[in-house]
Structure 1
Amino acid sequence: MFIEGHYMITKVFMYMIGHYDRYGNPFTQIVETGRTIFINKSPIEVLECSLRATGFTLDGAIESSKWILKMEKMVPIVANPFQEVVLFPTRSLKHEDNIWLNPYHIRRTSNINGKTLIIFSNHSSLYIPTR
């Protein structure tokens, strides 16, 4: 497994999941339409770095979403304003098991035994432990 040091969120991004290596260090699994990448940062750090590269901040993106949507929790984030990529969290931003999804690539969802099956644009799928 090769782990990269940085990542820029673009239109091919489908979802990302945070993990820990055997030493307890965070890393992120990023699934794109044609490949899977591992980054040696947490998902929040990936978002922060990607937004900073476009001249924005994660705090600013969160505050804007809260203000526009009149919501306080689980707000979607504009992760790349130039390519119009918006990500939705499956849980609160502070939860370690939060998964970030790009709705552009979601083709279908189904509830199966209290879990959600997501079918993506490239015909891959993902089960998430929420309805």
Structure 2
Amino acid sequence: MKVKENYIIHPDFMYIFGVFDRNAKLCTIVRELNRTFIVDKSPLEILNDSIRCIGFDLRGAMKTAQLFLGNKHMCPVMINPIHKICVFPNKSAKHPDAMWFNPTHIIRTNTLRRNTKVEFSNGLVIIVPSKLYSFNHKLQTADQYMKMTNRITNNPPTIKKGPKKGA
């Protein structure tokens, strides 16, 4: 499998997770609707690069999510509000093998021997080492956050101006 140097998350993105190469460098496996490949960057670097494309950074996106959702652990992150791409991790981002999911492509989840079976829009099924309740809670929080940010994007608050000086 050819290794890409860079990757920016776009609407075909389904999930990513970290893997170590033979030199113990953290790289990322990226799964899109029609292809899978490796990127020579960590998952957090890919998230940050993708958010920087729209003028923000991962740290700010995480703080914004906490502002909207309360100081929760493992908050979803808005990658691109224009394309409505929000991702969520199955475990703490500090874990190199954390998986980051795009809820848009998740069709169904079920329990399978204390893990979560995830079915995607392209028919792919994977097993995630996470309890169904925990995974579904994160999925629901990401969906809620996406709706909140879309509402603000589509209906920005109006700012009332005070009287003009000298009027």
Identity of aligned residues (%): 37
**d(CA) in 2 for partners of 1:106, 1:122:** 9
CA-to-aligned-CA distance 1:47-80 (integer Å, 9 cap, x gap)? 0111111211101100000000003311000012
SS at match of 2:92: coil
- Aligned equivalent of 1:26: 26
Confirm whether residue 99 of structure 1 aligns to residue 70 of structure 2.
Answer: no
Residue 95 (structure 1) shift: 1.2
Q: Return the alpha-carbon distance in structure 2 between the equivalents of residues 41 and 70 of structure 1.
A: 30
2:115 aligned partner: 115
Name the amino acid aligned to 1:84. Answer: K
- Counterpart residue number, 1:72: 72
Cα shift readout 1:72-93 (whole Å, capped 9, x = no counterpart): 3110000122211000110011
2:31/2:37 contact within 8 Å kept: yes
In structure 2, distance between residues paired with 1:30 and 1:23 = 19
Relative contact order, CA 8 A, sep 6+: which one is greater? 1
- Alpha-carbon distance between aligned partners in 1 of 2:26 and 2:7, rounded to the nearest angstrom: 15
Amino acid at match of 1:62: M
> Which has the greater radius of gyration?
2
4+ residue runs over 4 A deviation: none
How many Å separate the matches in 1 of 2:4 and 2:112?
34
Q: What is the aligned partner in structure 2 of residue 48 from structure 1?
A: 48
Verify the 8 A CA contact 2:91 2:99 in the aligned structure 1: yes
| Partner residue in 1 for 2:139 | none
Match of 1:116, SS state, is: strand
Tell me the amino acid that sits aligned with residue 117 of structure 2.
Answer: L
Cα distance between partner residues in 1 of 2:124 and 2:65: 29
Matched residue pairs, number? 131
CA–CA distance in 2 between the matches of 1:64 and 1:91? Answer: 19
What is the rounded CA distance, in whole Å, between the counterparts of 1:100 and 1:41 in structure 2? Answer: 14
Contact 2:26/2:96 (<8 A) preserved = no
Alignment partner, residue 86 of structure 2: 86
Deviation at 1:37, TM superposition (A): 2.0
Q: Write the distance in 1 (CA, Å) between the matches of 2:71 and 2:15.
A: 22
Q: CA separation in 2, counterparts of 1:52 and 1:9?
A: 11
More strand by share: 1
User: Would you say 1:57 and 2:52 are equivalent positions?
Assistant: no
Instruction: In structure 2, list runs of 5 or more residues that go unmatched.
Output: 132-167
